[in-house]
Amino acid sequence: MRIYIPYLFILFFLILLFPSFFYLVPGEGLDTSYNIAIFLAYKYNLVFGKDFVFTFGPLGILNDRFPISVSRWVYLLFDIHFLGTLFFILKDIFKKHFSYPLVIFVFLSITVALRDAMFQRYFYCFLFYLFALIKEPRKMINIVQAALLSILCFYYKLNLGITAIILFWMAISYTVIRKKLGGKVYAGVAGSYILLILSAAWLLHVNLKGYILGGLQLIDGYNDAMSLPAGGAYIIFLCEAVLIVAIIAGRGLYLLAKAIRKKEIVKNADELFIHGMTALAIFVLYKSGFVRADGSHMFYFFKISSLLAGFLYLYNPPGFNPKTAARCCWSVLAIATLAAITIPGNGNLYTRNLGGLPARIKEIGNYCRGIQTYPAALMTPPGRPGLTDTSLQAIVGSHTVDIIPTEVSTIYFNGLHYHPRPVIQSYSAYNTYLDSLNYQKYISPDAPDYILFSLSSIDGRLPFFDESRTKLAILRHYTLAGTVKGNLLLRKKAIPENLRGAKEDGWVDGRIGEDMPVDSRFDLQYSKIFVRYRIWGRIRRLFYQPPSLTMTLTLEDGEKMTYRAIPTLLEDGMILNKYIELPEEFQLLMQSGGRWCTNIKKIRLDQDPGPGLTGFVPAIKMKNTYYTFPEKPEAERRADSLGVAGIIREYNKYKPALVDTSLYEPDSFPCWIEYSKTYSPLIRLGGWAYRDKSGNENSVAGVVLRSEDRVYELPSEKQNRSDVALYFKRKSMALPGFTARVSKSQLPPGTYQLGITLYDSIAGKRWIRYMDNKIVLH
């Protein structure tokens, strides 16, 4: 009976690790959109690395597995291979090291990692066979599986894939140096490996050179553009991650020091090499998880760290006490588990991940039903209520279309022909190389016929500064065709028009922390700003995150706006003299030649004022290029003037209403103004409010402006602020937020005090609170 016990545990673990679903139905949102884009790339025969450059490669279809353009047999083939790989990994581990403490360790590690991403599972399986290759290079299964899994990683997720390719070459080179493989065998393995990479590139429609170059640019740019500090309560998770890295690296250094002292480096070279590669892998995963230190990315690191730590035990050098290795493994597991169950938003780890064996068996049943229903889902038209627009379909028809900045799902659900710029989402065009790919696409004859254009970004960036070169191409090659649900629909011009009068001036010197003037004499000032890291900044960038930088823009009316500044995007350049935040402001830029846009008068860069060493060299340089818009034909000028008049007419619809304040009860309820913007013909405000002594489910927040004896209520829209409710630990998950707009032309000149109102629609009660904020209209 004992001989079958390991197989019972293997069966149990395979049930736990069985895929939770066969496919998912696509929805909307940033992450869903880039997954949809990968499937549409297959549908329209786009070439990865040329037409499509993103952090996920062609095997990103395994991420969410949508029923779009992919046969169910593809998913089945990958699932069978993955489950078979897991079976042989577990069988090999239990055959060589079976013990009940090991079983418990594997169980607890799997519990932490149960909902990890599939690309992480492939990476772990790759490392297992890679290390088996180092120990037993003459077993063909180790070479084949290590090579195959590294290539699957490479065409799935670029950062881990490039790491896997490098580690594979290091491993097979090591076996030759140690004379475990002969030169002829090495040449055969290396040649077959290269041939396999090239064959996979052909099969998966990959331009290998562009795929690798684009991947390296994405990895390098991600470090600068996507960093998100682990501030506040999250700092503890950074400390826990550093401790895990220190344990794994420290174990390797300890073994190395002891081997040197005992003069056993050659004898223990395999284990030392494996420990070094494990430390390198854990560092790559640490960087991936903590460059952007939010809950989901950090969780990725902790999910896999304890499984990687298991290699310290599996490959403990002979003659070294295995109990020490076991202590390291259990320490990493304890830290990873503690972090996983305390990261906000992840819920109860064991309830959510396991939910009992019956829940897992039910998921396997759902998976099997998914195999049956997949063909019908594949044939189902993509339309979805609330996400389709007949007017958009009527205009675009069968023409090609791209979307800026991110929501590719809009194209999919409207059944449009997706023809994207290479870097498919604006926030990912991290540097000049990536932005230039998109620029070249939009000025080429192969540019999409239409662009559905809006403005939004992430992490406190100014959306207009993302893809700045690409926006220059839009101004040259596209004209307004209409508006759809707040987005601009841009149509490619039959004859492109170059921006005229390009003029460069010399280098402009400046300093961080000091204002730099911006010239508004020209239609457009395109500025490249060059900042340099100090040595401390480079060290921070390598081992954690680059130091942060902000840009403060002073507008022509004196209003100041502060945004996150990213060195690689500053060097790429931006249209610096026009403040564009809304789609209608970009429309004004296009149709008025910038004359109706708000000018920027000066800028200032500031670095992180926190304690410690500064990360940037104070001296900065700026290089400016000036452009003017071309003269337009009379018919186009008339159309543009009507478009400008239409925007002004829309602005004037936001009219205030006089209110009787005797209907309101003065109160001091909690509230906050998140933004107050007065630079344009509109005053725009946003924020939230709630009453402590009520549930607020029926509350509506609004904005008033008081000037002398008159109080005006502004047109407002209700926003449900579940984020605020969660922060304040309120039972109601829909605390009242608001956005408000009013046309300046509809208010008399004067100084206005800002107030916030709350109205209980059931009780009929009203409350008002005046703030210290003032707005001056001339």
pLDDT in tens, 22-77: 999 998 888 899 999 999 999 999 999 999 999 999 999 998 899 999 999 999 99
* CA separation for the pair 65, 573 (Å, rounded): 37
C-beta atoms surrounding 657 within 10 Å: 12
Among candidate residues 239, 218, 232, 241, the one with its CA nearest the CA of residue 287: 241
User: 671 with 615, same domain?
Assistant: no
In-domain check, residue 163: no
Q: What is the gyration radius of the CA atoms in the chain, in angstroms?
A: 29
Write down the pLDDT at residue 417: 96
Rounded distance between C-alpha atoms, residue 593 and residue 529, angstroms: 24
Q: Are residues 341 and 236 in the same domain?
A: yes
Asked, for residue 343, whether it belongs to a domain, the answer is yes
According to DSSP, residue 205 is labeled: T
Q: Which of 31-40, 239-248, 491-500 has the lowest mean pLDDT?
A: 491-500
Answer whether the bond into residue 681 is a cis peptide, omega within 30°: no
The range of the structural domain enclosing residue 438 comes to: 390-492
Question: Which residues on adjacent β-strands are paired with residue 560?
Answer: 554
Minimum mean pLDDT range among 546-550, 564-568, 640-644:
640-644
Q: Choose one of 457, 492, 527: the last residue of a domain.
A: 492
Residues 620, 661 within the same domain: no
272 inside domain? yes
Pairing of strands 417-418, 400-404: parallel
Nearest 5°: CA angle at 177, between 176 and 182? 30
723 plus 664 within the same structural domain: yes
Question: Within this chain, do residues 488 and 504 fall inside the same structural domain, yes or no?
Answer: no
So what's the pLDDT on residue 348? 54
> Same domain, yes or no, for 525 and 561?
yes
d(CA 440, CA 446): 10
Q: Same domain for 326 and 396?
A: no
Q: Which of 739, 456, 429, 480 is nearest to 590 (CA)?
A: 480
pLDDT attached to residue 355: 53
Report in angstroms the alpha-carbon separations of 121 from 63, 305, 465, 643. 12, 12, 37, 53
481 close to 450: Cβ distance less than 8 angstroms:
yes
Q: Is the residue at 289 inside a domain?
A: yes
Tokens standing for residue 561: 């706006």
CA 46, CA 51: separation in Å to the nearest integer?
Answer: 6
Domain count within the chain? 4
Positive/negative CA dihedral, 515, 517, 523, 528: negative
pLDDT of residue 610: 63
DSSP state of 547: P
What's the pLDDT tens digit per position in 67-108? Answer: 999 999 999 999 999 999 999 999 999 998 888 999 999 998
**What percent of the chain clears pLDDT 90, i.e. is strictly above it?**
61
Q: In a 10 Å sphere around its CB, with 0-12 CB exposed, 13-18 middle and 19+ buried, how is residue 312 labelled?
A: buried
Q: What pLDDT does residue 599 have? A: 93
Q: CA separation (Å) from 203 to 3, 78, 185, 206?
A: 43, 15, 26, 8
Same domain as 266, residue 316 = yes
Helices (H), 114-234: 118-135, 140-154, 158-177, 183-203, 208-225
* Structural domain ending residue among the three candidates 646, 681, 709: 646
Neighbours of 43 (CB within 10 A): 13
**Is there a contact between 647 and 588 (Cβ–Cβ < 8 Å)?**
yes
Indicate which CATH number applies to the domain containing 550.
2.60.120
Beta-carbon count within 10 A of 594 CB? 24
pLDDT value, residue 728: 74
Amino acid code (one letter) for 727: Y
- List the structure tokens of 84: 């078979």
Integer Cα distance of 747 and 708 in angstroms: 13
- Quick one: tokens of 460? 């406190």
CA distance 251 to 316: 10
Tokens 């960036």 locate to 461
Residue with token string 């009787």: 660
**Taking residues 559-574, what's their average pLDDT?**
94
In a domain, 504, yes or no: yes
Q: Please answer whether residues 490 and 591 qualify as being in contact, where contact means their C-beta atoms are separated by less than 8 angstroms.
A: no
Helices (H), 546-683: 567-572, 583-592, 634-651
Confidence check: pLDDT of 219 > 70: yes
* Side-chain half-sphere CA neighbours of 205 within 13 A: 16
- Tell me what the mean pLDDT of segment 620-648 comes to: 87
**Whether 322 and 239 share a structural domain:** yes
Q: What is the pLDDT of residues 389-401, one digit of tens each?
A: 888 888 899 999 9
One-letter amino acid of 265 = I
Alpha-carbon distance of 499 to 523, in angstroms, equals 10
Two tokens, residue 252: 């390797």
Average of per-residue pLDDT across 620-634: 88
Decide the pairing of beta strands 766-777 and 487-492: unpaired
Overall average pLDDT of the 480-508 stretch: 83
- pLDDT of 347 > 70? The answer is no
Number of separate helices (H) and strands (E) present in the chain: 25, 25
Task: Provide the pLDDT for residue 273.
Answer: 94
Scan for tokens 């109102």, then name that residue. 757
Q: Which of helix, strand or coil describes residue 183?
A: helix
Residue-level pLDDT at 345: 64
Does residue 349 have a pLDDT over 60?
A: no
* Domain match, 286 and 328 both: yes
Task: Tell me the CA end-to-end span of the chain in Å, nearest whole number.
Answer: 90
Most confident of 256-265, 432-441, 595-604, 621-630: 432-441
Q: What is the pLDDT of residue 247?
A: 94
pLDDT at 730: 72
Q: Is residue 449 part of a domain?
A: yes
485 plus 507 within the same structural domain: no
Distance (Å, whole) CA 561 – CA 579: 10
395/436 same-domain check: yes
- Segment 207-218 shows an average pLDDT of 95
Q: Is residue 19 part of a domain?
A: no
The answer to whether the beta carbons of residues 218 and 434 sit under 8 Å apart is: yes
CATH number of 711's domain: 2.60.40
Task: Determine phi and psi for 666, rounding to 5 degrees.
Answer: -60, 140
Short-list 44, 67, 47, CA closest to 57:
47
Of 336-350, 630-644, 683-697, 760-774, minimum mean pLDDT range: 336-350
Residue 650, Cβ neighbours under 10 Å: how many? 13
Which amino acid appears at position 198 of this protein? L
* Residue at 246: amino acid letter: A
pLDDT tens figures, 286-312? 998 899 888 788 888 998 898 999 998
In a domain, 445, yes or no: yes
Mean pLDDT of the chain: 90
Residue after which a domain boundary falls, among 444, 460, 492: 492
CA dist 533 and 536 (Å) reads 8
Amino acid sitting at position 138: R
CB 675 within 8 A of CB 684: yes
Contact partners, residue 772, CB within 8 Å, separation at least 6: none
Return the pLDDT at 732: 65
> What single string gives the DSSP state of each residue in 232-280?
GGGHHHHHHHHHHHHHHHHHHHHHHHHHHHTT-TTTTHHHHHHHHHHHH
Arithmetic mean of pLDDT, 177-195: 92
Residue 41's CB is within 10 A of a number of other CB atoms, namely 23
